[in-house]
Copies of this chain bind each other. A is one copy, B any other.
Amino acid sequence: MSARLLDGQGLAKRMQDEIKPEVAAFAGTYGRPPGLGIVLVGADPASEVYVRNKLRAAGEVGFRADLERLPATATLADTLALVERLNGSAVHDGILVQSPLPQAMGAGAEQQVFDAIDAAKDVDGFSPVSVGRLVQNRATVAAGTPSGIIALLVNEGIPIAGRHAVVIGRSDIVGKPMALLLLHRDATVTMCHSKTSDLRGICRQADILIAAVGRPGLVTPDFVKPGATVIDVGVNKITDEGIAITLFGEGHPRLELFRRNGSVLVGDVHPRVVEVAGALTPVPGGVGPLTVTMLLMNTLRAARARVGA
């Protein structure tokens, strides 16, 4: 038995194709496209990739998308001033500050910057008001990754109501909003994390298992109930050949990829889980593209709300 692979990339593409005419209609009516301002402080290589993907996707659906760069030496005050400028901008409906900010900015800087984003332009859903409205199950902008996962499950016809969903990882941007979104769709939800005893035993109960911890291959086949749906949010870059061999085994095409490139991306789910799960998201190409798509949808929604459409 081999799990059905859930094609996040394909769904993301279809959703983006669907919003193109809506974006064009918005631009026709209001004389400008929806606008997204992306703040990037410093030049973290992974952040550069994420930001490039977001800019490209935004451009492809017809948004105005502006990258606002600050040097790695920028202060918190510089960053807050930039956010304030975007808050006041008539052409920007959504603002996104790429995480992480440089460590030199100090602990708490990131949340302070997120807090400064006008709630009406908070297309990442990281402001306290957005999060509070999410808990209260009121119309709101939810963080891109968990809402992308819900879209994928719904699109694939995987039932959520009455099922047991187990979420590993309790971050503010994935784990906690994921648990709440699943709860609001009537799943029974268990939240696990680094302090969980018997993680394997709890995960084995899951009809839907969501791994979002950033530990390559943590979820091994013995964590998975046969036939379960497994969603892999982790994106871990492996540069150690020994680890790559342990994860993939000799002869695996992704080990070949590693040997060609010197690195390979691996999720939190062990490659052999494909032999046990009923359905599984690949890494890359599973959840990631949907995160970007939900950001675009949140921006379109914010743009419409701003013009009262």
Which chain B residue shows the least CB distance to A195? B186
Q: Are A133 and B128 closer than 8 Å at their CB atoms?
A: yes
Q: Is A123 close to B, CB under 8 A?
A: no
Chain A, range 110-145, C-beta contacts under 8 Å to B: 111, 127-136, 138
Interface 9-residue window, one of A175-183, A269-277, A287-295: A175-183
**Binary CB contact string for chain A from 35 to 46 against chain B (1 if under 8 A, 0 otherwise):** 000000000000
**Binary CB contact string for chain A from 147 to 176 against chain B (1 if under 8 A, 0 otherwise):** 000000000000001111000001010001
Q: Are B197 and A193 closer than 8 Å at their CB atoms?
A: no
Q: Are B196 and A162 closer than 8 Å at their CB atoms?
A: yes
Which chain B residue shows the least CB distance to A127? B132
Q: Is A303 close to B, CB under 8 A?
A: no
19 A-B pairs with CB atoms under 8 Å apart are A111-B136, A127-B132, A128-B129, A128-B131, A128-B132, A129-B129, A129-B132, A131-B131, A131-B132, A135-B172, A161-B195, A176-B180, A176-B183, A183-B193, A186-B195, A188-B190, A188-B191, A188-B202, A190-B191
